[in-house]
Structure 1
Amino acid sequence: MPAPLRQRLAAAGVPAASLGLVVAPAAGGEPFVAHQAERALQPASTMKLVTTLVALEQLGPAWRGRTRLLASAAPEHGVLHGDLVLQGQGDVDLDVDALRSLLQRARARGLVEVRGALVLDRSAFAPARTDLGAPPFDDAPEFGYNVIPDALLVADNLLHLQLFVDERGLQVVPLTPLAGLRVTHAMQLVDGDCSRWDDGWQAPQLRPEGWLRKRELVLRGSWPVRCERTLALNVLDRDEYIGRLVRRLWRELGGQWRGEVREGAAPPQALLLAEHASRPLSELVRAINKPSDNVLSRTLYLSLGRAWRAPQGSGEATLQRAEQAVRAWFGAQGIDDRGLVLDNGSGLSRRERITPSQLAAVVRAGVASRWAPEFLASLPIAGIDGTLRRRLVDGAASGQARLKTGTLRNVVALAGTMHDAAGQALVVVAIFNDDEARPAVLRPLADALAEWVARQHFAAR
């Protein structure tokens, strides 16, 4: 490790053993700097570079996830004497408006009343519900970044609430139209910083149906008296969430349905009523890497597994097939996959591991890919946008470094491309793993490292 970097780490009390580092020419050749380059480390969200690049190469930039609304039988005089089927195929853009549009098109075809059930078809991924029984990643499972996706994830299963304080006290306004859900609060107003509203937050309580068959969600804890926020909470089981949403939207559209909600598969003879497609992958990779979206990344990883041609009759889970797809791509690129540990493809994992050399090789493959424009345009630009909008704002890296960020409680990482002071294109990977240092300590070190690289004149090799 170059002496200036070692001295900076020592001054912060962070051992050099906490860092894995590669600085190499983007066009190929031996690295200029390599420190613990072969050590398998937790990459945090820099693992999204693997998922998005392999997806571009395997699925193509025009790939889209899809949702289909089907009828189990042909409606007669506006009445469906059967089930309405909502079938998911990894459509990450299925929000409330998209679902409303699907139902509107069914109404436009003359459908008024559904006599059967609403069937939720998640069979595109196996198993259909990996969220059931999964241990929480941290102590805040109700927040959006912790949502575990499936093939039919509507609006990320999130209930959006607006919280504000007026002369009546704290007001909680539901923004997601869910039938039969009442939202109340038992929160205490306190003097506090609105930017730290979650200091007094407690997990909400979901109460069973009571008077007038209403489900009640109770917010708990404390709330700053001068604070307005819109929160998105993952608190309802997703079958219940979709059922309440469809019930409300269908009623607003003038439709009738009193049936149950159940999981199942669309019958082969089902009639297609409407279809929705996500944005193309060329746009989705930006939506993943710029803001570091875990749910989109995990859904894309599962879609890779769905598309991977596993041996017939293997019966393997979609996650296993996704891993096979990634390892096959590594092999085709000549990247040694020893030490690589894959979990969900997003980096929101305690298990995932990759070496700095492997991640540098992935970035280098992205630079050389025929889909390089789409891949590189998805990376945050230092001081400009994404997760780097407020980082590296002034200095040699600003405006030219394209770096994916990664953060966990013990991890800070940067990986991507930038130029040195002579204009030479570089691949840079820096991963800190330190159980004793928190991101507030490690992040300035990672930024200082990127700035140091941008000011160097690396001799071509």
Structure 2
Amino acid sequence: MNGPTLSRRFVLAGLLTSAASCSLADAPERSLRPAAKPLSESGSARHASGAEALIEAAKLDGKVGFVVADSRTGQVLESHNPLLPLPPASTAKAITALFALERLGPGFRYATEVIATGPVAGGVVQGDIVLAGSGDPTLDTNRLAELAQRMRRAGVTGATGRIRVWEGALPSLRTIDAEQPDHVGYSPGISGLNLNFNRVHFEWKRAGSGYSVTMDARSDKYRPPVRTARMDVSNRDLPVYTYEQQGGVDRWTVASKALGKGGSRWLPVRNPGAYAGEVFHSLAAAQGIRAELGEPVSRRPQGTVLAQVLSDDLSTILRDMLQYSTNITAEVVGMTAAGRGGSMPRSLRESGAGMARWLEARVGANKARFVDHSGLGAASEISCREMVEALTVLSPKLGLRSLLKPIPMRNSAGQVLDGHPLDIVAKTGTLNFVSALAGYVRAPDGTDLAFAMFMADEPRRNRLSKAERESPQGASAWNGRAKNLQLRLIERWGALYTG
């Protein structure tokens, strides 16, 4: 991520560093084996291995569950531990997308506004200028600059009061999952005012015998410096990063021995409103708008809307969320949807519980438990049968399938098999020693299947210390075997149920 130019989509891509169905009520506990026209990795006929043999060959410690069903009727064709609740990891985002589509609608947009608390006289607001968010998880520095430009075009040059922020549309949370390492960008803070996926860009360069460091809110057009997050270089080997909160400022240190000649990375922001307010104040000053930066306000003010920017529609937001697996997007849209059903939840756990109740009411999923909307919290659980029920009962009504990303078929060595006859769209899910895949597979003859596969070695995952969770020993190999098993099972289903 070195270099000064980063588009909003590039920033988003960087986050890659989730009424009962009668037809599913009697899902078989073991395989049904109808006659089939097998497809091999090259498309030629071969004998399909049994599912149990594939699971045994994968040599995965822990538990494996799967369900595959006819996507049109919901009839279960094959299953293994279908009712066993397991961590869904980021496939939970598929449930979140369904929840948000039903509660908010595909055309829903987030609005970020600038509000004047008093009249404008001679270009000067007689009161405060308040940056008010509705939670937009995709707001970036470019759109914040556009907001400042629109305010200037409206004739505003300053204020007798201060520039303040209101972030109360959503609860303010310091992190998505407190069990994650402090420095990982996929578990930032959340509030009703979010910027750049609540991450700050940290860059370092050699300077004499030491380093020069910068913290900024960069985009492809702007590079505003940030002081609400600060970095000091410390002469040590480990730990690579330390973090503490001091006076509302994210204070980081980094080990000099880990820096090399230079580089950059995104770090999580724990004070989203303060971060967005500081950047907006800087961008407004660049437009010639003069006002001091003040404390946040506790209530959304009454006043005149000076400027507004809107997010993309919800369908677009969800498509990007499912493609890039952005945790903050899942949490924000999930909480927004939960709040639309009544009072705003006070925590992710409370909001996730509301989504679980919603899913139970829609498809009878009485085993599903969510502690968040992204799947980052490992305490979330759902059975494969419940996930497939959501895919066969809710998705056709709400249009989830069109938002899922294509999954290429690969051989056992991990090489993409171009031109493979099976068309797969799905949501992936990966945690340490947890791997999941849920979606659809269509064969050339029109056979259309819905599936969910959850694999987890929870005892091994639970033994990890917080410091080990970014890259634990053995996790990459375990997840690689799990992903290979998932594709071999899909290949098996293509062999058994086509023709």
TM-score normalized by structure 1? 0.81
The partner residue of 1:356 within 352, 363, 384 is 384
Deviation at 1:246, TM superposition (A): 2.5
- Which residue of 2 is the match for residue 387 of structure 1? none
1:223 aligned onto 2:258: yes
1:293 aligned onto 2:338: no
Residue 7 to residue 459, structure 1, CA distance change in 2 (3 Å): closer
Describe the SS at the equivalent of 1:414: strand
Shifted more, 217-226 versus 350-359: the winner is: 217-226
- Which residue of 1 is the match for residue 172 of structure 2? 129
Per-residue deviation, residues 56-98 of structure 1 (Å, max 9, x unmatched): 2332211111111101111222222312112211212221111
For 1:346 and 1:184, locate their aligned partners in 2 and report how far apart those are by CA, in whole Å. 29
Q: How many positions carry a matched residue from both structures?
A: 428
Describe the SS at the equivalent of 2:438: strand
- Which residue of 1 is the match for residue 60 of structure 2? 14
For 2:423 and 2:204, locate their aligned partners in 1 and report how far apart those are by CA, in whole Å. 39
Structure 2 stretches of 5 or more lacking a match?
A: 1-29, 32-48, 218-223, 462-474
Contact 1:306 1:322 in 2 (8 A): no
- Which residue of 1 is the match for residue 468 of structure 2? none
The partner residue of 1:144 within 169, 185, 197 is 185
Sequence identity percentage: 21
- Which residue of 2 is the match for residue 327 of structure 1? 357
- Which residue of 1 is the match for residue 200 of structure 2? 159
Residue 283 to residue 235, structure 1, CA distance change in 2 (3 Å): closer
For 1:454 and 1:331, locate their aligned partners in 2 and report how far apart those are by CA, in whole Å. 33
Contact 1:178 1:244 in 2 (8 A): no
Residue 150 to residue 144, structure 1, CA distance change in 2 (3 Å): same
Deviation at 1:172, TM superposition (A): 3.5
1:58 aligned onto 2:114: no
For 2:481, give the aligned amino acid: P
Deviation at 1:218, TM superposition (A): 4.2
- Which residue of 2 is the match for residue 409 of structure 1? 432
1:202 aligned onto 2:235: no
Deviation at 1:155, TM superposition (A): 2.2
For 2:178 and 2:79, locate their aligned partners in 1 and report how far apart those are by CA, in whole Å. 36
Residue 83 to residue 403, structure 1, CA distance change in 2 (3 Å): same
Describe the SS at the equivalent of 2:59: coil
Deviation at 1:367, TM superposition (A): 4.7
For 2:78 and 2:259, locate their aligned partners in 1 and report how far apart those are by CA, in whole Å. 48
Contact 2:244 2:250 in 1 (8 A): no
Deviation at 1:316, TM superposition (A): 5.8
Contact 2:70 2:77 in 1 (8 A): yes
Describe the SS at the equivalent of 1:222: helix
1:120 aligned onto 2:162: no
Deviation at 1:173, TM superposition (A): 4.1
1:70 aligned onto 2:95: no
For 1:360, give the aligned amino acid: V
Deviation at 1:337, TM superposition (A): 2.1
Deviation at 1:231, TM superposition (A): 1.2
For 1:56 and 1:181, locate their aligned partners in 2 and report how far apart those are by CA, in whole Å. 35
The partner residue of 2:371 within 340, 343, 368 is 343
- Which residue of 2 is the match for residue 383 of structure 1? 408
Structure 1 stretches of 5 or more lacking a match?
A: 191-198, 385-389
Contact 1:397 1:418 in 2 (8 A): no
Residue 394 to residue 317, structure 1, CA distance change in 2 (3 Å): same
- Which residue of 1 is the match for residue 487 of structure 2? 450
Contact 1:200 1:222 in 2 (8 A): no
Structure 2 matches for 1:262-301, cutoff 5 A? 262-268=296-302, 270-301=303-334
Residue 217 to residue 321, structure 1, CA distance change in 2 (3 Å): closer
For 1:452 and 1:324, locate their aligned partners in 2 and report how far apart those are by CA, in whole Å. 33
For 2:233 and 2:206, locate their aligned partners in 1 and report how far apart those are by CA, in whole Å. 14
Deviation at 1:350, TM superposition (A): 2.4
TM-score normalized by structure 2? 0.75
When the two chains are superposed, the root-mean-square deviation of aligned CA atoms in Å is: 3.4
- Which residue of 2 is the match for residue 195 of structure 1? none
Structure 2 matches for 1:90-105, cutoff 5 A? 90-105=135-150
Contact 1:204 1:219 in 2 (8 A): no
Deviation at 1:399, TM superposition (A): 7.0
1:247 aligned onto 2:313: no
Describe the SS at the equivalent of 1:145: coil
Shifted more, 42-51 versus 108-117: the winner is: 108-117
Describe the SS at the equivalent of 1:413: strand
